[in-house]
Structure 1
Amino acid sequence: MMASTLRRVAVLGMAAWALAAYATPGAAHAASGVHAEEIVRFPSLDGDLTGGTPTRLTGRLLRPAGTGPHPSVVLLHGCGGLYAKTGRVAPRHVWWATTLQQQGYEVLMVDSFGPRGVSDLCTAKERPVRASVERKRDAWAALAYLRNRPEVDHGRIALMGWSQGAGTVLAAYGAGEDGPAGGESGGFRAAIAFYPGCKTPLSDEDWQPDGPLLMLVGEKDDWNPPDSCVDLVKRDAVKERTELVVYPNAYHGFDAPDVPVRKRQDLATAPGGAAHFGTNEDARKDAIERVTNFLNERLRAGG
């Protein structure tokens, strides 16, 4: 752990537990026994919003070595979308997806924007694909899709997202009886949210996560300031299931690989239209260890 170099500003709730662009996996994956990436398609559960015709979502599926059944993780992108301007999957998502795959997880990266004709919402003045409306239904659809795959362990599926995708995690994983957690098969086994906006769940006095939740935020985040997440985790019902870590001197996107901190001025989704974004190596290293341990505990050790 990073205790000697990392001053923990806040850890509330439960006790703690390099790639530049994406290309189709090749010789390295073949040598390790993992499967090639698949492009998959499945319907969202947004039919009640679209007049009965659900959005046909796309995803990128990475399977680990072996025949399974594998624990699985659904990854949800932020307001910038799954793809970088180059047309390739953004480096942060590549790094996490391939790392989790190598750790033995089946990974599904969901594209909520492309199928709806949206490329980027960070700079848009309207938000036509909302975390608590369309995107939570996409997350539930990904869960249903994975449960139809024979190589997936249907009871060991986690949800993980960043920024707007992390807000989607809170919406999809805090619906209680109104979501899959209220159904016979149950919902996600665990969830991880990187620097979410917590104002929406904070405004709902009944909100609580459906199960174990790990939230990782930056102390200096001026895009999604962490104060509302700190207040949310002070609630007894939330605290019992949630671990919140606030990293000192860390901005939005602290876990992105090799991104110098810079200030963006064109943001419709940040207070004042501007915010900092970039890597904090101490926070990134600690977050990687925490995510690894959290998923190990919840998806492998029978937590």
Structure 2
Amino acid sequence: MAAILPGTDAGARDAAAAHQDRLTKPQGSLGRLEELALFMAGWRADPHPRVDLAQALVFAGNHGVCAQGVNPFPQEVTAQMVANFRAGGAAINQLCRVAGARMEVIALDLDRPTADFTAGPAMTEEETLVALNRGAAAIDAAADVLVLGEMGIGNSTVAAALAAALFGGPAAEWVGPGTGAGAEGVRRKAEVVERGLARHPGRDPLRVLAALGGREQAAICGAILAARAARIPVLLDGFICTAAASVLHAVDSRLLDHCLAGHVSAEPGHRRLLERLGKRAVLELDLRLGEGTGAALALNILRAALECHNSMATFAGAGVSEG
């Protein structure tokens, strides 16, 4: 699938690298900032990329597996938090404002949760396709970067199930406290995930998404693919967002080449998941909120990288000897 989608522009990246070598600093001294600037240059096909429009999307969904008691908060909280997002009162609103990102929350049939994956597939193929398309349709093709986040009570259990199904290993290696589950709650989540895996043993990625995933996970996949088609780099958030993206990695590992891991969260499965994907996080701040908060924070680092790349003087321009 990746073969029919745009790839990184090697010429633009090489030109950006040559420009980096002329800036008034020892080569490589800005470390990861230099890497981020070259990443953006390649994907935006521009040796001097800028972020004029940063789009942040938060997809929200509800999950039938909550019937198994995996969530310390009631499902009503999903809709309540969507209202909070729209009123500008959540953490992600503040972080998007600071980072200069235009944020939108997209509620996906909150009054109609997915089915309980311990009893049957969470979604039909048609429901999965609808959610994928809604994610893709939310992309603004004029954006220079996309920040992705999610909201959905119970979706850390869904993320653990997806990760275990796609990469293997016992459920206990993938589950964590989520929104605050104690030891007994984590044990229950692991048991529920194991039951889901036993009921849906297949490894076909898109069937795994339908069987174990949720509408917000499918929408994230659709958004990532649409961003790739438009050459828009993506900042992934934490465990849940990354687990959703892992479905595409399982289809073709190249499908996530335009994605950066915004941060590594405190949810224990996230670091393991990033290792499987070969992604190095931009930040590590012990966040575990979701909503796209870690990805929004990483946008500030990305902007800083581009400011240095585009605005620093060259040795020749500043009259500084290169030694």
Q: Shorter-chain TM-score category?
A: 0.3 to 0.5
Structure with more of its chain in helix, by fraction: 2
Structure with more of its chain in strand, by fraction: 1
TM-score (norm 1): 0.43
Higher relative contact order (Cα pairs below 8 Å, separated by 6+ residues): 2
TM-score (norm 2): 0.41
Larger Rg: 2
